[in-house]
Amino acid sequence: MAKLKWSYVKPLKEQDLISNFEKAHNLKIPKDLKQCIFINNGGRPNLNVFDTAKTGERVFKTLLSFNEDDTENIYKIFPIFGNNTQLLPFASDPSGNFICVNLQTNNIVLWLHETNEKELIASSFEEFLDKLYD
């Protein structure tokens, strides 16, 4: 498998932005996802196509940024999910959908904004990254 590389990374403006977000929203981001965001905040992967349990050839556009002044950031997107504290969006696709981690199960799902439906992608963040292709 080709190596995953990230472009357009926006370094975190403060080292504790992710942990501050976790504390403010009383949630715990899986360690491997948190590490990926810490290193590749706002970045775009070179391998950016994935399949869900229902559909194929979906596109991973960008990791959501934890810098509040970046265009696609967690602070703008998280409120869309309202009381569904189970789902944490961490990436977007070009169609306005979000790739999320289910904080109860660690499953990775694609949340479809028009229907509020979820499509399973992988059982962990690591498995999700392994499934990316171009």
pTM exceeds 0.85 for this model: yes
Answer yes or no: is 100 within a domain. yes
- Position 18 pLDDT exceeds 60: yes
CATH of the domain at 25: 3.40.1580.10
Answer yes or no: is 37 within a domain. yes
Answer yes or no: is 81 within a domain. yes
The boundaries of the domain holding residue 97 are 9-131
Answer yes or no: is 127 within a domain. yes
Complete DSSP assignment for the chain: -PPP-EES----SSTTHHHHHHHHHT----HHHHHHHHHHTT-EESS-EE--SS-S-EE--EEPBSSTTSSSBHHHHGGGGTT-TTEEEEEE-TTS-EEEEETTT--EEEEETTTTEEEEEESSHHHHHHH-B-
Answer yes or no: is 76 within a domain. yes
Answer yes or no: is 67 within a domain. yes
Predicted pLDDT of residue 81:
87
Predicted pLDDT of residue 84:
65
Answer yes or no: is 1 within a domain. no
Residues 73-115: pLDDT tens digits? 999 999 998 776 699 999 999 999 999 999 999 999 999 999 9
- Position 1 pLDDT exceeds 50: no
Residues 35-82: pLDDT tens digits? 999 999 999 999 999 999 999 999 999 999 999 999 999 999 999 987
Counting the structural domains of the chain, the total is 1
